Amino acid sequence: ANCSNVFINILNVYFTILNWIMFSCGPLSSYTVLPKQNGRVAIVTGGTRGMGFETAKHLASLGMHVIIAGNEKDEGKLAVGMIQQEDYKGKAEFMYLDLTSMKSVRQFAQTFRDRGLPLHILVNNAGTMLVPERQTEDGFEFHFTSGRPGRCSRIVNMSSATHYAGIIQMGDLNRRICYSSHGAYAQSKLALVLFTYYLQEQLTAGGFPVVVNAVDPGMVDTALYDNLWSLTMIPTPAEGASISIYAAAAVEMEGVGSCYLYNGEKRRSADDSYDHELQVELWKKSCELVGLKTA
């Protein structure tokens, strides 16, 4: 088991560094001009700091009403205050959401629905990386639970190059038999890409005008790497956020879904992510775990 963990660690680091070296992303302004988004509503999970904050700030600058969803109330208030100081056309507010708690997720969804607001953009930015083995209050592995999406006009799911090394352990999604933080993280990111593609298929079949895409920001200097090493000479959170902002607001992404995006371009994701049987199996298993019925 120790040798296996070492191998997984090396493989994950290799793919992350390779991704950064080969496809280092530049600032958003280098490849697109975004239209105004006045009156549109966006939810950004994990928007209190790092790439999530930069995404929320940029969407507000385009005129959006941005709801920052997170589980740190003080950080949320600070983030909202910093955005409001910029005097943007849009506005920002904070709503409490703990993505590791199904009770909190349902309460957040109900509170949002009760307000009668439309939802045009959902950016699933929140996540955690390489933490020791840990279960949520619902008994789920921590990485696997922290980034699952909902439904709106554009859904942007934050993935990672690490998904290329991911292996879906369908019989042990919560990694209780043999835990590796790297393996759990890679699995969660592969699961997110699988989920992205199958959700798009289901929405299209149902006639819903919603597009779903997975994005890869590359290696970015955020708190995610606190459990790995000290990083220098790598993109800032603002630069890393450019890909999620692009997917959320770019004209050329209107009506375009089921993509894996890096540096403003479509890339081929891991071969396993296109396995339709695996997509269906993961979808059904996920629904079972959270108590939802499947068609």
Would you please indicate which residues are annotated as catalytic (active-site) residues?
185
Cα–Cα distance, 188 to 214 (Å, whole number): 13
Which sign does the torsion angle of CA 226, 241, 159, 16 carry? negative
Grouping H, G, I as helix, E, B as strand and the rest as coil, residue 226 is helix
> CA gyration radius for the chain?
18
Inter-residue contact 119 to 153 (CB < 8 Å): yes
Residue indicated by tokens 């919603």:
210
Nearest to 160 by CA among 10, 18, 54, 277: 18
Nearest to 152 by CA among 220, 231, 211, 197: 211
The two three-digit tokens of residue 210, written as one number: 């919603």
Cα–Cα distance, 251 to 31 (Å, whole number): 12
Cα–Cα distance, 206 to 269 (Å, whole number): 25
CA distance readout (Å), 43 to 56, 220, 249, 289: 8, 22, 13, 24
Cα–Cα distance, 237 to 248 (Å, whole number): 17
> Kind of pairing, strands 154-158 and 211-215?
parallel
